[in-house]
């Protein structure tokens, strides 16, 4: 397993000017190559737009392209990697456009690349060549610490995660906490004149608020997933259709703020790191509708019903806790080969649902961990709302 480290740079003024110059060089090479391709397409020709062809064309014409108004050739002021980075991005964009146009590329349709402006483009460039090596660690086997048993995790919006042992991880709802300030900043931005310094300042303020919300969300996610991966040896979660849930206009913002996909992504690599096992239960398994005591499946269960009441055995239990217990049981079932990381469990004998699962609902802000009673299987439990 490879683990990446993200580091924030704190350059000096001179270093910042140098970085911006290299980012501008990458943008210049991108626009120059795109102009050449568009000119050839308009003329009815079939230009070569592979990275190798674009870089060969650039090397042959850079003395005529990278020239200032005074006739000074300036391309030597930046590393060749900056120009190669821009050309590589152009080649990738053109390739994605061609594959999308032919129907070869999956996903949403990709449009033709557009010219990059200095004001609306994030300054960045990357190395396209170089050698990278891995340092091999101690080949001896590591002794992993002893952890708890198996647990099922039911993800939601009212509570971020409800565990089958009664533990509840509250949803911090970071976007909702900063939404008022964000709206004010966006409203102020919309009133500024295009291209003005005040608009750039207002845009930077909006970016800072969005970055703060994202960092708060990631911090909460990392704390929750690190605790889960280090506490339990077997973790079962549902394969939620996040894209389908986000299509619900009443829940889209809350679903995006909960970041279920990021929660699962972090669990996948952290369980691999700690030695725990992650089981992914089929998305059509009716965990909320199934009674965790007798196995009876309800025909309908509205989102407003926060307490599960079984018509067969009379079980009364918190809805999310009941689903978490069912997920834990389904995760312990015989497994099949999973195309994704982790394992996927078979659905039980009660069958599958026939619609996109949207068992999440908006709620007030949380942020702490609590436990639903001492015995989640027997007590009649309800989530307290403060």
Element (H, E) at 33: helix 13-42
3-state SS class at 120 = coil
Q: What is the CA radius of gyration of the chain?
A: 27
Catalytic annotation on 238? yes
What is the rounded distance in angstroms from the CA atom of residue 243 to the CA atom of residue 212?
24
Catalytic annotation on 311? no
Burial degree of 187 (CB within 10 A; 0-12, 13-18, 19+): exposed
Active-site residue (options: 81, 170, 268, 320): 320
Positive or negative: CA dihedral 97, 101, 102, 108? positive
Catalytic annotation on 69? no
What distances in angstroms separate CA 69 from CA 17, 32, 35, 73, one per listed residue? 21, 17, 19, 10
Active-site residue (options: 81, 154, 165, 257): 154
What is the rounded distance in angstroms from the CA atom of residue 260 to the CA atom of residue 239?
10
CB 204 within 8 A of CB 188: no
Active-site residue (options: 81, 165, 238, 257): 238
Q: What is the DSSP letter of 6?
A: -
Name beta bridge partners: 167.
371
Residue 351: which of 312, 295, 301 has the closest Cα?
Answer: 295
Looking at the annotation, which residues are catalytic?
A: 154, 238, 320
């Amino acid at each position: 397993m490879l683990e990446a480290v993200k580091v924030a740079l704190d350059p000096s003024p001179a270093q910042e000017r140098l970085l911006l110059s290299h980012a501008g060089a990458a943008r210049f090479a991108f626009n120059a190559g795109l102009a050449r391709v568009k000119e050839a397409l308009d003329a009815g020709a079939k230009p070569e737009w592979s990275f190798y062809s674009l870089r060969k064309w650039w090397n042959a014409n850079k003395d005529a392209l990278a020239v200032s108004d005074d006739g000074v050739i300036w391309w030597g002021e930046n590393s060749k990697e900056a120009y190669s980075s821009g050309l590589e991005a152009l080649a990738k964009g053109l390739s994605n456009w061609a594959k999308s146009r032919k129907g070869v590329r999956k996903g949403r349709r990709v449009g033709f690349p557009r010219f990059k402006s200095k004001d609306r483009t994030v300054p960045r460039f990357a190395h396209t060549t170089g050698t990278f090596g891995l340092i091999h660690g101690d080949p001896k086997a590591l002794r992993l610490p002893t952890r708890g048993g198996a647990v099922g995790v039911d993800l939601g919006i009212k509570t971020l995660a409800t565990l089958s042992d009664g533990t509840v991880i509250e949803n911090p709802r970071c976007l909702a906490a900063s939404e008022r300030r964000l709206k004010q900043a966006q409203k102020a931005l919309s009133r500024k004149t295009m291209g003005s310094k005040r608009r750039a300042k207002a845009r930077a303020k909006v970016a800072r608020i969005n970055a703060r919300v994202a960092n708060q969300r990631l911090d909460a996610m990392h704390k929750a997933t690190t605790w889960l991966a280090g506490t339990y040896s077997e973790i079962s979660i549902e394969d939620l259709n996040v894209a389908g849930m986000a299509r619900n206009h009443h829940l889209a913002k809350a679903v995006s703020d909960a970041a279920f996909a990021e929660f699962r992504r972090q669990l996948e690599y952290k369980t691999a790191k700690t030695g725990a096992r992650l089981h992914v239960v089929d998305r059509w398994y009716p965990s909320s509708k199934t009674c965790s005591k007798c196995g009876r499946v309800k025909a309908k269960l509205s989102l407003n019903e926060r307490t599960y009441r079984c018509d067969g055995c009379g079980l009364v239990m918190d809805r999310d806790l009941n689903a978490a217990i069912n997920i834990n049981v389904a995760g312990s079932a015989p497994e099949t080969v999973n195309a994704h990381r982790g394992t996927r469990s078979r659905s039980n004998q009660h069958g599958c649902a026939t619609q996109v699962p949207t068992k999440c609902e908006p709620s007030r802000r949380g942020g702490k961990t609590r436990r639903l009673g001492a015995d989640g299987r027997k007590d009649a439990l309800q989530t307290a709302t403060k």
